[in-house]
Amino acid sequence: MLADLDLKDPVAVRRLFEAGAEACRDAACREGSIEIIGTPGRLIATGDLHDNPVHLARLVAAAGLDGDAPPPDGPHLTLHEIIHSDRLLNGMDFSYRALARVAALKAASPERVHPLLANHELAQLTGGAVIKDGVRCVDAFDDALDYQFDDDAPLVRKSIKRFIRSMPLALRCVTPRGDILCAHSLPGPAMMGRFDPTVLERELTEEDIAPRTGSAHMMVWGRKYDADQLEDLVERWGVNLFVLGHEHAPNGVHLVPPNAVVLNSDHERGVYLPIDLARKPLAAEAVAMVVRLSTG
């Protein structure tokens, strides 16, 4: 399916993003700002992707979504931090193509594909400043849109923003052994006094995505969680396993005691975490269950 997408025609690309946005908003699993699934079922949980096309293809295949008619009862797949590649072309970032592929996947399988809001997507939505290795990521992304679509770039950009704005903030998996929350990140400990934990229970507002002050912004930008904070969120949300990204894990996976697992899916040691939702692992067990994306 993904190989047949026309990613150069502005009308076709806009349709992909609009269809993805509609699927996010109307998915039966959508409740408030998040999506919720239960058992029986399987999950392919991932970390930051950053426009790694080989790893995206392997994740799609692992979830059984690479055929023309994916079965409705196959594994669920989370995807986040999709854009802002390290591989630029003449200083331009063409990762809109990866985002369009994810929009197409969501439109085709709205109950199985879960594109989670992440800080780089939120920066692209709000025009925030993100700098990687001296590159202004939002500008490099916009430059590629202008180059590819010329006068149609503003309309494509608007459709991209609609898709990003529709993304769920997290995926909650309700299991017999306790709930899992897959999210890009969690608010840092110093943010907790300003963070509204009810943000998961309601639709996001413009205030929620405002830089530095919004609860959604805090959630996708947070780092350096500690045990006390994680236990606090266990009490508030009734979740006892967090599967996250955002922080760099050189080996692809990192345990934050007592109950958080950080995944990276973008670099040469990138991984994914397959979970049978009927047999939810402990965080330490999950670290040993990851699957390497690189075959080298």
pLDDT digits (tens, 9 = 90+) for 216-255: 999 999 999 899 999 999 999 999 999 999 999 999 999 9
CA–CA dist 52, 232 (Å, integer): 34
pLDDT band at 178 (very low <50, low <70, confident <90, very high): very high
**Is 115 a residue whose pLDDT tops 90?**
yes
Return the CATH number of the domain spanning residue range 2-292: 3.60.21.10
Tokens linked to 288: 């040993």
Tokens linked to 126: 């709000």
Burial class (CB in 10 A: 0-12, 13-18, 19+), 31: middle
Tokens linked to 230: 């994680």
pTM over 0.85: yes
CA–CA dist 112, 6 (Å, integer): 23
pLDDT band at 73 (very low <50, low <70, confident <90, very high): confident
Domain ranges, ordered by start, for the chain: 2-292
**Is 71 a residue whose pLDDT tops 80?**
no
Would you state the pLDDT for residue 48?
98
